[in-house]
Amino acid sequence: MISNWRDVTVEILAEKIGPVAIVIVNDVAKELGITSTVIDGKTYSEFLMRLSRELPAGVNAVELAKECRSRVA
């Protein structure tokens, strides 16, 4: 189970796009119905895949996902 997924994802994304990162992360979590602060690895992978579709141009989704996965592990 992953308990720090939201904080890590926002922190990494904010480094790339600034404070709007929290809005994007919250919107994607809401779309997927994620309300818990603790999620499993499969749910986190689904979240990252959906998040990649919402990223602004110029943000490397693969790089972001790898960094997020390595930091929540």
Number of domains in the chain: 1
44-64 pLDDT, tens digit per residue, is: 999 999 999 999 999 999 999
The chain-wide mean pLDDT, for the chain, equals 95
Confidence of residue 19 (pLDDT cuts 50, 70, 90): very high
Q: What DSSP letter does each residue of the chain carry, written as one string?
A: -BSSHHHHHHHHHHHHH-TTHHHHHHHHHHHTT---S-B-HHHHHHHHHHHHTTPPTT--HHHHHHHHHHHH-
Q: Which domain holds residue 21?
A: 5-72
Residue 73 confidence (pLDDT): 74
pTM recorded for the entire structure: 0.93
Mean pLDDT over residues 28-52, rounded? 96
